[in-house]
């Protein structure tokens, strides 16, 4: 209840040009108190802390694979003309758009349509590229 009133007071003090930093600090200390008292939350944060190296390693590996396939895609499919799936927002003409195309395709969004248009232009190498990706 007190912290709800502090939030309301914060809004009022902003209107009066009062420094509200102290109220923000109180909110952060409330969060820290909750972490201190909750055994389950503390266990989750400890697990997150211990797994950070694995998370960074996995992110680096995914980034390396994405970078490699982006460069290969630019080399193989950089000259494909625009069509239904390969258009100005999804192509291999620039690195940024190519990496965004592959990131989008890795979520499953219309990757097979892009693959079919690449296949029409480049042949079986497009199927090998997209299936291995």
| 112 and 61 in a common domain | yes
Last residue within a domain, chosen from 34, 50, 66 = 50
Residue 15: Cβ-neighbour burial (10 angstroms; 0-12, 13-18, 19+): exposed
What is the rounded CA–CA span in Å between residue 111 and residue 129? Answer: 11
pLDDT digits (tens), the chain, 133 positions: 445 555 555 565 555 565 667 777 777 777 777 777 778 888 888 999 999 999 999 999 999 999 999 999 999 998 888 888 898 889 999 999 999 999 999 998 888 899 999 999 889 999 999 999 9
Total structural domains in the chain? Answer: 2
| 57 and 37 in a common domain | no
| 76 and 16 in a common domain | no
Give the pTM: 0.66
| 60 and 43 in a common domain | no
Residue 99 domain boundaries: 52-132
| 97 and 60 in a common domain | yes
| 60 and 91 in a common domain | yes
Backbone conformation region of residue 83, classed left if phi is above 0, alpha if psi is from -120 to 50, else beta: beta
Judge contact between 65 and 102, C-beta under 8 A: no
| 57 and 23 in a common domain | no
| 63 and 106 in a common domain | yes
| 115 and 60 in a common domain | yes
Q: What is the pLDDT of residue 6?
A: 53
What is the rounded CA–CA span in Å between residue 2 and residue 119? Answer: 64
């Amino acid at each position: 209840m007190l912290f709800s009133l502090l939030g309301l007071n914060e809004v009022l003090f902003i209107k009066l040009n009062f420094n509200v930093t102290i109220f923000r600090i109180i909110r952060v200390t409330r969060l820290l108190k909750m972490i201190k008292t909750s055994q389950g939350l503390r266990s989750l944060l400890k697990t997150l802390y211990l797994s950070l190296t694995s998370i960074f390693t996995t992110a680096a590996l995914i980034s390396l694979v994405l970078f490699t396939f982006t460069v290969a895609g630019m080399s193989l499919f950089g000259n494909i003309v625009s069509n239904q799936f390969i258009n100005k927002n999804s192509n291999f003409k620039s690195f940024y758009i190519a990496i965004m195309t592959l990131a989008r395709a890795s979520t499953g969004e219309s990757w097979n349509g892009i693959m079919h248009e690449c296949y029409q232009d480049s042949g079986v190498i497009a199927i090998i590229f997209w299936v291995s990706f």
